[in-house]
């Protein structure tokens, strides 16, 4: 996977050795229109999936202007990403059914 569309914009998935000074696994950037992901997440496994969902949720939160403060956004995004990853894992045909319903 090389990019993700969030709202009207396409965000490149860029893999780097060091995402930021806090050694986060990923970082969403509206300004750069990309999502940085740590090379340590490869090959794509459960941590990769959770972090990618996390950054996509930041993108949706930003695009929809959901949160007024960063701390609340970070907590909500973290918990939604972990919870949604588990729901997908526990319901392997769910995504296909949702996509079909949205078509
Ligand atoms: Zn975050």
Render pLDDT for 49-103 as a digit per residue (tens, 0 to 9): 999 999 999 999 999 999 999 999 999 999 999 999 999 999 999 989 999 999 9
The DSSP-derived string for the chain is --EEEETTEEEEEEEES---TT--SEEEETTTTEEEEEGGGTTT-HHHHHHHHHHHHHHHHHHHT--SSHHHHHHHHHHHHHHHHHHHHH-TTHHHHHHHHH-
pLDDT at residue 9 tops 90: yes
Q: For the structural domain made of 3-102, what CATH number should be given? A: 3.30.2010
Alpha carbon of 87 to ligand 1 centroid (Å): 19
Alpha carbon of 90 to ligand 1 centroid (Å): 23
Alpha carbon of 32 to ligand 1 centroid (Å): 16
Calculate mean pLDDT across residues 19-44: 96
Alpha carbon of 54 to ligand 1 centroid (Å): 6
Say what the pTM is.
Answer: 0.93
């Amino acid at each position: 996977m090389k990019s993700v569309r969030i709202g009207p914009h396409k965000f490149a998935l860029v893999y780097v050795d060091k995402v930021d000074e806090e050694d986060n696994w990923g970082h969403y950037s509206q300004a750069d229109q990309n999502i940085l992901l740590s090379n340590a997440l490869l090959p794509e496994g459960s941590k990769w999936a959770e972090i990618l969902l996390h950054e996509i949720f930041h993108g949706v939160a930003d695009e929809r202007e959901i949160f007024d403060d960063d701390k609340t956004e970070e907590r909500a995004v973290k918990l939604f990403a972990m919870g949604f990853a588990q729901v997908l894992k526990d319901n392997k045909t769910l995504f296909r059914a949702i996509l079909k319903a949205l078509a």
